């Protein structure tokens, strides 16, 4: 789609200007004629070169903007005035420039949703479609309130994902650093000390094992880290390919311990997003397309797209969702009940509430389970190395006391 700058005259001779998205110039002219406007000039809009030096817009700033904007709209302030006030009071200069651009486009005749669509890095497709539904239905303030609640819950869900993934990853990195220090510097120091005592030829088995490990690690240091780097690069490259991304996303859903948590997060995100869209008046097929893109997992995305295709064929939502085997049977059955009773949006939000609580419990349980396991494993490895290094020292001390 191309953006076009147009000028036209009304039947009374008044000049109107604006910006419109269309495939061709003829399409713009046809649309203007349907609005009882006579086109006088239509040209392609030049591309904007935006260089953003400020910080990106955070979701917290977005929620504050939405709530303030909804309050002003509910109080009866004109749209342009709301944007003018909010673009002048924010601390984020980049966001202020974006709001001023949105205001300028609205003043030129574009709709609010079309003006937001010009900044997809800040206002995603879900955001824009909800605003568009609010404009069409005349309930923009209500939609903005729902949108703020949705983003707040999405932020909470992201924090839970980070809690589930970052903690074990951080502990593994720290453990790797500790083992590297021990094998590279600490163990060779003990080995030199044993050699000075003339006791390096007859060491206990555990001590000799640790020294052999240290010598292998130091002697093949670059090969080990080169192999580790190659492994990480290979995983990163495979993740960029469609097949590799599909493999890793399926792995995350099916891996023991972590998999059930990731599946609950996927269900929560799907039901919350779809429930918010349907409650705001977005048609179900359009809502499913938006939810699929916002799912964050290609396996879930494929399941949602397959469901959307089956609905286009005249089937209900519950049946194809059950066939995908991605969503739990309880979720599918509740969705089926929501379809039958005509309260699908309410049922989806109830499912989302339930699974968000389940995610809270699951993440807390996962953290409490992994913490002692990792501490025991890391402590066991470090303790074994230290005991192995002190065993010859005890032997030497015994020999000294015997003499």
* H-state helical runs in 325-343: 329-341
**Mean pLDDT confidence for 296-314:** 91
332 token code pair: 């599918």
DSSP string, 89-157: H-S-HHHHHHHHHHHHHHHTT--HHHHHHT-TTTS-HHHHHHHHHHHHHT-HHHHHHHHHHHHHHHHHH
Does residue 134 have a pLDDT over 60? yes
State the pLDDT at residue 52.
Answer: 45
241: left (phi over 0), alpha (psi -120 to 50) or beta: beta
pLDDT (mean) for 23-42: 84
Question: Residue 27 and residue 108: Cα distance in Å, rounded?
Answer: 19
Q: For the residues 278-304, what does the mean pLDDT come to?
A: 89
The secondary structure of residue 58, as a DSSP letter, is: P
Tokens of 55: 């910080």
CA gyration radius for the chain? Answer: 31
Residues in the chain, total: 403
For residue 152, the model assigns a pLDDT of 86
Cα torsion through 298, 299, 303, 309, rounded to 10: 40
pLDDT in tens, 362-380: 888 877 887 788 888 888 8
Q: How far is the C-alpha of 327 from the C-alpha of 336, rounded, in Å?
A: 13
CATH topology of domain 251-363: Receptor-associated Protein (1.20.81)
Residue 353: burial class (beta carbons within 10 Å; 0-12, 13-18, 19+): middle
pLDDT above 90 as % of the chain: 25
Distance in angstroms between the alpha carbons of the first and the last residue of the chain: 93
The answer to which of 2-6, 80-84, 263-267, 287-291 has the lowest mean pLDDT is: 2-6
Is the pLDDT reported for residue 50 higher than 60?
A: no
Give me the mean pLDDT over the 312-322 stretch: 91
Domain locations in the chain as residue ranges: 2-44, 59-154, 251-363
pLDDT of residue 306: 93
Q: Lowest-confidence range among 40-44, 62-66, 284-288?
A: 40-44
Q: pLDDT tier at 15 (50, 70, 90 boundaries)? A: confident
DSSP code for 57: P
The CATH number fitting domain 59-154, selected from 1.20.81.30, 3.10.450.50, 3.30.70.20, 3.40.50.300: 1.20.81.30
CA distances (Å), origin 7, targets 11, 52, 104? 14, 30, 16
Q: Is the pLDDT of residue 47 over 80?
A: no
Bigger pLDDT: 397 vs 182: 182
| pLDDT beyond 80 at 160 | no
Q: What percent of the chain has pLDDT over 70?
A: 95
Return the bridge partners of 213, or none. Answer: none
Q: Per-residue pLDDT for 329 more than 80?
A: yes
Determine the pLDDT at residue 399: 65
> Which tokens is 254 given?
């099916």
- β-sheet bridge partners, residue 21: 3
141 has a pLDDT exceeding 80: yes
Dist. CA 301–CA 198, nearest whole Å: 66
Mean pLDDT of all residues in 24-43: 84
Helix 221-240, helix 242-254: angle, nearest 10: 100
Look over the chain and give the mean of its residue pLDDT values, rounded to a whole number.
85
Contacts of 38 (CB under 8 A, 6+ apart): 8, 9, 10, 32
Element (H, E) at 326: none
Model pTM score: 0.68
CB 171 within 8 A of CB 374: yes
**Residue 49: pLDDT over 60:** no
d(CA 316, CA 288): 13
- Mean pLDDT calculated for residue range 346-361: 90
- Higher pLDDT: 294 or 56? It is 294
Q: What's the pLDDT at 402? A: 63
19 close to 105: Cβ distance less than 8 angstroms = yes
**Per residue in 101-117, pLDDT tens?**
899 888 888 889 989 98
More reliable by pLDDT, 9 or 244? 244
In the sheet that holds 2-9, the strands lie side by side as 15-22, 2-9, 38-44
**Is the pLDDT at 168 greater than 80, yes or no?**
no
The SS3 of residue 79 is helix
């Amino acid at each position: 789609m191309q953006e076009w700058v147009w000028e036209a005259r009304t039947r009374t001779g008044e000049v109107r200007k604006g910006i419109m998205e269309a495939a061709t110039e003829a399409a713009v002219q046809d649309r203007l004629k349907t609005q009882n406007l006579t086109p006088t000039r239509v040209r392609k809009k030049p591309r904007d070169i935006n260089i953003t030096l400020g910080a990106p817009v955070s979701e917290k700033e977005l929620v504050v903007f939405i709530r303030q904007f909804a309050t002003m709209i509910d109080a009866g302030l004109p749209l342009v005035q709301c944007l003018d006030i909010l673009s002048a009071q924010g601390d984020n200069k980049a966001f202020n420039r974006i709001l001023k651009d949105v205001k300028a486009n609205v003043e030129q005749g574009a709709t609010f949703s079309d003006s937001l669509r010009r900044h997809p890095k800040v206002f995603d497709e879900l955001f824009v479609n909800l605003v568009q539904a609010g404009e069409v239905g005349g309930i923009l303030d209500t939609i903005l309130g729902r949108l703020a609640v949705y983003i707040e819950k999405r932020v909470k869900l992201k924090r839970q994902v980070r809690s589930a993934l970052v903690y074990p990853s951080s502990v593994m990195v720290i453990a790797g650093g500790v083992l590297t220090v021990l094998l590279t510097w600490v163990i060779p120091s003990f080995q030199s000390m044993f050699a000075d005592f003339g006791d390096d030829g007859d060491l206990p088995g555990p001590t000799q094992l640790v020294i052999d490990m240290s010598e292998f690690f130091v002697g093949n240091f670059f090969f080990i880290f080169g192999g580790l780097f190659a492994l990480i690069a290979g995983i990163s490259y495979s993740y960029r390919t469609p097949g590799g991304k599909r493999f890793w996303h399926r792995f995350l859903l099916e891996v023991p311990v972590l998999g059930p948590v990731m599946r609950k997060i996927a269900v929560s995100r799907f039901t919350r997003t779809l429930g918010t869209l349907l409650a705001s008046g977005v048609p179900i097929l359009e809502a499913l397309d938006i939810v699929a893109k916002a799912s964050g997992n290609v396996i879930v995305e494929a399941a949602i797209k397959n469901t959307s295709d089956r609905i286009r064929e005249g089937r209900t939502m519950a049946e194809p969702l059950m066939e995908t085997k991605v969503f739990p049977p309880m979720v599918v059955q509740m969705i089926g009940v929501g379809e039958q009773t005509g309260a699908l949006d309410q049922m989806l939000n109830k499912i989302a509430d339930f699974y968000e609580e389940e995610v809270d419990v699951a993440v807390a349980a996962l953290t409490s389970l992994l913490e002692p396991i990792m501490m025991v494993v890391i402590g066991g490895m470090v303790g074994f190395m230290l005991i192995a290094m002190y065993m010859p020292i005890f032997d030497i001390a015994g020999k000294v006391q015997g003499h």
